[in-house]
Amino acid sequence: ETLDATGLAILPGGIDVHVHFRDPGYTHKEDWASGTSAAAFGGVTTVFDMPNTIPTVATPEILAAKHAIADEKAFVDYGLYAVLGEESLDHVEALAEGGVIGFKLYMGNTFGRIPSPDTGAMLELFERVAPTGKRVSLHAETNTIMERREKRLREAGRNDPLAHLDSRPAVVAVEAVERAATLAEWTGARIHILHISSKEELRPLAEAKARGVDITGETGPHYLMLSTDDYARCKGVIRVNPPVREADCHEPLWNALKDGTIDMIATDHAPHTPEEKTRSVIWNCDCGFPGVETQMPLMLTAVAEGRMDIRDYVRASSEAPAKSFGLYPQKGAILPGADADLALFDLSEEWVIDDFKLHSLSRISPWHGRKVKGKLKHTLVRGAFVVRDGALVETMKGHGRSVHTIQRMPPAEPRNTHKTIAAVTAAQISAAVTA
Ligand code: DOR
Ligand code: ZN
Ligand code: ZN
């Protein structure tokens, strides 16, 4: 079997550490077949799926059931997150053994309304997860502040799209990043900051890295390319947590991505239906929109425009996610990224994003009508075509496999200066709880 790749760029397949494929529970929005075919058409060969499906992934049994669904339907490789919260506290070790790619902790409320642990509970959860070596991905927004703000804005009768941004100012994210980094430093837990949306979050992230905290961060195309200028056009469609912010965040976020302060690009692919995104009351529009199929074309367009070097982009789309989550090839081993997970693009072909031609079930996004440069032609997952000549290879449904078994992360090391503080604090907390 030969392939003529004349004129095409061969890139490592994207690794998107942040998608919501909604299956089981919300399969009218997306399922494992539609979500992973969207990934394949986007050049993304590995996705990590979030636990806010029904039931929330909190026990080894629920995890095993979700693995079975994904194994049957997935076109690309995948990892599954379990939630890190009260409902999973006693299952942390079993979930790690059962093959989660990482844990997800919701510091702020969003779709699925998973409860947010308070700081003491978070400390206990971090201590529990650290010895497993697994990374904790954080939705870093502070719930208490946001809920009060949203209530006040609703009561004041605000119903314009920007009201959503006003309910979740950058300070909400900064406070959460700062607190998460401190708890990670005390406990040694590895952490990952999801969807960095503001220039303000960069300082606590950079400071934590400088202190030696094992912390990584991601941002998405919407925080680099959309701004408050797009709210009037998109209305509820642009509603996402955390919100798209002012255009003056773009430059600092691009710079952070280039210099590695922000390690990687991830999409927070969060499909909802047109009906769910266009309700008349802004507060009732579901948050999020699809992104897994458009990330590489959007970013390659930015590369073509000279915004970023292609080597920096590949680091952010494949190398850094693999390193951060334990999938990076070790000497002498054949591992994802080294086993022909490939995306072949025609970097000169221009096209216009059309929500109705994308493969997510969602059919609505703020990218509709946007001109991009870079068209995917072929996608290979472990050496096999899943997209060939721009068409899905239907027989590859079920080819996708969980990547969790590939490489075990060593237990995380607590930072010695804080080891005793962590022990004392945990003891005090359990004393207070049992008193
Ligand atoms: O806007 C969002 N949508 N933010 C999240 O954190 C969750 C996501 C979803 O699941 O819809
Ligand atoms: Zn989130
Ligand atoms: Zn998300």
DSSP readout, 274-315?
HHHH--SSGGGSPS----TTTHHHHHHHHHHTTSS-HHHHHI
Residue 373: band (very low, low, confident or very high) from pLDDT cuts 50, 70, 90 = very high
The answer, yes or no, to whether residue 225 has pLDDT greater than 90, is: yes
Q: What is the pLDDT of residues 118-164, one digit of tens each?
A: 999 999 999 999 999 999 999 999 998 999 999 999 999 999 999 99
Ligand nearest the Cα of residue 287 is 1
pLDDT of 350 higher than 90? yes
Find the 287 Cα to ligand 2 centroid distance in Å: 10
Ligand 1 contact, 139 CB (< 6 A):
yes
Q: What ipTM does the predicted assembly reach?
A: 0.97
Q: Which ligand is nearest to the CA of 112?
A: 1
Q: Is residue 325 within 6 Å of ligand 1 at its C-beta?
A: no
Higher pLDDT, 330 or 321: 321
- Tell me the one-letter amino acid at 410: P
The reply to whether ligand 1 has any atom less than 6 angstroms from the CB of 132 is no
Q: Is the Cβ atom of 20 under 6 angstroms away from ligand 1?
A: yes
The terminus-to-terminus CA distance of the chain in angstroms comes to 69
Q: What local confidence, expressed as pLDDT, does residue 424 receive? A: 46
Query: Is the shortest distance between the CB of 137 and ligand 1 below 6 Å?
Result: no
**Which of 119-123, 284-288, 369-373, 419-423 is least confident?**
419-423
pLDDT band for 331, please (50, 70, 90 cuts): low
Q: Which pLDDT belongs to residue 429?
A: 46
Residue listed under structure tokens 């060593």: 410
The average pLDDT across 175-185 equals: 96
Task: Provide the 10 A C-beta neighbour count for residue 433.
Answer: 10
Confidence of residue 407 (pLDDT cuts 50, 70, 90): low
Taking all residues of the chain, what is their mean pLDDT, rounded to a whole number? 93
Which ligand has an atom closest to residue 140 CA?
A: 2
- Across residues 1-7, what is the average pLDDT? 88
Q: Which residues of 214-239 are buried (b: 16+ CB within 10 A; e: fewer)?
A: bbbbbbbbbbbbbbbebbeebbbbbb
Query: Which atom of ligand 1 sits closest to the CA of residue 20?
Result: 10
pLDDT of residue 332: 62
C-alpha 3/C-alpha 198 separation (Å) is 43
Check residue 414 and give its pLDDT.
65
Shortest-distance Cα residue to atom 3 of ligand 1: 288
Beta carbon of 114 within 6 Å of any ligand 1 atom: no
Alpha helices in 325-376 (DSSP H): none
At 203, give phi and psi (nearest 5°). Answer: -65, -55
Ligand 1 atom with the shortest distance to the CA of 288:
1
Q: Is 282 in the pocket of ligand 1 (CB under 6 A)?
A: no
378 DSSP β-pair partners: 344
143 lines ligand 1 (CB under 6 A): no
| Mean pLDDT to the nearest integer, 248-267 | 98
pLDDT given for residue 238 in this prediction:
98
Given the CA of residue 239, which atom of ligand 1 is nearest to it? 1
